[in-house]
Amino acid sequence: MIFNSIAFIIFFVIVASLNYILPAALRWIWILAASIFFYMYVAPLYILVPIFIIAVTYFGGIQIEKAASASKRRIFYLTCIILNVGTLVFFKYTNFFTNMLVDFANYIRQNLLHVEASVHNIFLISIFAPLGISYITFQAIGYLIEIKRGNQLAEKNIGYFATYLLYFPKVIAGPVERAHHFLPQFTLQKKLDFAGVSAGLKQILWGLFKKLVIADRLSIYISTVFDNTAMHSGYTLALCAIFYVFQMYADFSGYTDMALGFSKLLGLDLMPNFNRPLAAKSVTEFWRKWHISLSTWFGDYFYNPIAIAKRDWGQWAVIYASFITFIVLGFWHGANWTFIVFGFLQGAILTIEFLTKKIRKNLRKKIPGAVNNTLGVIFTFCYFAFSLIFFRANSVTAALDIIKGICHFKGSLFIPEQYMVLYPLFGIGIMLFVEWMENRSHSAWGYFSHQNIIVRYSAYLAVSILILLLGVFDGGQFIYFQF
């Protein structure tokens, strides 16, 4: 069930109404039941995987906490981490690793032994990764680490804990919620008030706008071009690479806004995941504003421990930790070399930005602030667009072909129908304007939270009308184009 489907809306109205009627102390039971239903909606049997993770992590957490000796604590901790990581690797990365071994064996047969490359992968598993497996295991791992570090008390109520990992608004696309932020909300039992519900509805509306008017519109154009890269000019490919940043951002942040909004309607707060990343003036700053829940997770559990352990290396500690962290972060997105390259590119630019900090600071003194900021924003955008080519492509070779294509300044811009480019551009314009306003006034929700009721209502209505008029509601929008 995706959020922008009628099925989900019906489901959610039922869940939210009953949640409102129920006494606060019982709500978690209802939300857990709804989350289990949501999880089992498509493939019921897959619920066994999160049940396994919940059981391991719940009991493991308690054991780590009360372990009598440090060595015992270590054994419990490592067992739980291995089981979690193992589950994730098994479902998501088995084929990637076995294929790599098979390719390697075939390479040796062909090039060193000069025999036919006839090794086949007999370990290929043809199962889908369970819904949200990367998010669930990462939250579980973070929880275990915090208990081991002594920052988090093990949750004693297995119901609360199961709800933490299975909570349906965040199961598909995060955020990677922290236990210390989420779990106390069950005992605090915040009252559902008008302000919360109204904020939730606004956030859903804005999320829908980004998803339907910008992301899904752009996706029609971008997939037509990127599915047939060889037939398109460098200009078209470059435009798509730029568009893809907007698609990615509008899609992901729009979906997250909906997740946070729906969650507010149930009286639970999720952590924000984006903080206007397109305004970042460096890639380092960008990663503090993009997919925040994941980048802080990697910061706390990957980057910091590595950098601290190696801090005697001086600058090399930072460089080493950056590369390792971002390569793993890239790989977390999917089992493909393209994601590893994506992560490597982030590590590389962070290193460069880190090493040139002094030089850039001196340069900054010589050029006016506005020029400097603008150049920073443009550079960050372009670099991210470039790295996303790898993120989007099916293989590294395909990504390199696109880059080669972009360098080829020839041919014309592919515009099947003007509105296919104009609609999303219009949507992007509105989004950037609103974010610029928010950035300037340091307030969230721009016109949605304006003091003047007429301005506020006009904003809700305008966004609703644009969604109805320009949103993409189904697969009915397509580019009539064939090769």
By CB under 8 A, residue 470 contacts another protein: yes
Contact at 8 Å (CB) between 279 and 39?
Answer: no
By CB under 8 A, residue 95 contacts another protein: no
CB of 422 to another protein, least distance (A): 6
By CB under 8 A, residue 411 contacts another protein: no
In the shown chain, the binding pattern of residues 441 to 460 toward another protein, with x for contact by CB under 8 A and - for none, equals ----------------x--x
CB of 306 to another protein, least distance (A): 10
Of 329-348, which residues contact another protein (CB under 8 A)? Answer: none
In the shown chain, the binding pattern of residues 244 to 273 toward another protein, with x for contact by CB under 8 A and - for none, equals ------------------------------
By CB under 8 A, residue 477 contacts another protein: yes
- The smaller minimum CB distance to another protein, of residues 145 and 173, is found at 145
By CB under 8 A, residue 358 contacts another protein: yes
Of 192-211, which residues contact another protein (CB under 8 A)? Answer: 192-194, 197-198
By CB under 8 A, residue 149 contacts another protein: yes
Buried b (16+ CB within 10 A) or exposed e, 254-274: bbbbbbbbbbbbbbbebbebb
CB of 357 to another protein, least distance (A): 7
**Interface pick for another protein out of 110, 304, 397, 441 (rule CB under 8 A):** 304
Q: What is the 3-state secondary structure (H, E, C) of the chain?
A: CCCCCHHHHHHHHHHHHHHHHCCHHHHHHHHHHHHHHHHHCCCHHHHHHHHHHHHHHHHHHHHHHHCCCHHHHHHHHHHHHHHHHHHHHHHHHHHHHHHHHHHHHHHHHHHCCCCCCCCCCCCCCCCCCCCCHHHHHHHHHHHHHHHHHCCCCCCCCHHHHHHHHHCHHHHCCCCCCCHHHHCHHHHHCCCCCHHHHHHHHHHHHHHHHHHHHHHHHHHHHHHHHHCCHHHCCHHHHHHHHHHHHHHHHHHHHHHHHHHHHHHHHCCCCCCCCCCCHHHCCCHHHHHHHCCHHHHHHHHHHHHHHHHHHCHHHCHHHHHHHHHHHHHHHHHHCCCCHHHHHHHHHHHHHHHHHHHCHHHHHHHHHHCCHHHHHHHHHHHHHHHHHHHHHHHHCCCHHHHHHHHHHHCCCCCCCCCCCHHHHHHHHHHHHHHHHHHHHHHHHCCCCHHHHCCCHHHHHHHHHHHHHHHHHHCCCCCCCCCCCCC
**Where does residue 352 rank: exposed (0-12), middle (13-18), buried (19+ CB within 10 A)?**
middle
- The smaller minimum CB distance to another protein, of residues 111 and 482, is found at 482
By CB under 8 A, residue 316 contacts another protein: no
CB of 308 to another protein, least distance (A): 5
- The smaller minimum CB distance to another protein, of residues 46 and 206, is found at 206
Report d(CA 379, CA 356) in Å as an integer: 15
The size of the interface with another protein (CB under 8 A), counted in residues, is 57
Contact at 8 Å (CB) between 211 and 250?
Answer: yes
Report d(CA 427, CA 107) in Å as an integer: 49
- The smaller minimum CB distance to another protein, of residues 108 and 468, is found at 468
**Interface pick for another protein out of 120, 180, 357, 408 (rule CB under 8 A):** 357
- The smaller minimum CB distance to another protein, of residues 116 and 312, is found at 312
- The smaller minimum CB distance to another protein, of residues 151 and 443, is found at 151
- The smaller minimum CB distance to another protein, of residues 304 and 441, is found at 304
- The smaller minimum CB distance to another protein, of residues 77 and 160, is found at 77
By CB under 8 A, residue 482 contacts another protein: yes
Stretch in the footprint of another protein (CB under 8 A) among 65-73, 82-90, 158-166, 306-314: 306-314
- The smaller minimum CB distance to another protein, of residues 167 and 243, is found at 243
By CB under 8 A, residue 309 contacts another protein: yes
Stretch in the footprint of another protein (CB under 8 A) among 128-136, 168-176, 308-316, 337-345: 308-316
**Interface pick for another protein out of 361, 366, 440, 442 (rule CB under 8 A):** 361
In the shown chain, the binding pattern of residues 1 to 40 toward another protein, with x for contact by CB under 8 A and - for none, equals -----x-------------x--------------------
Residues 6+ apart with CB under 8 A from 298: 325, 326, 328, 329
**Interface pick for another protein out of 70, 409, 451, 475 (rule CB under 8 A):** 475
Which residues of this protein are in contact with another protein, per CB under 8 A? 6, 20, 149-151, 192-194, 197-198, 284, 288, 299-300, 303-305, 307-309, 311-312, 314, 317-318, 321-322, 350, 354, 357-358, 361, 364, 417-419, 422-423, 457, 460-461, 464-465, 468-478, 480, 482-483
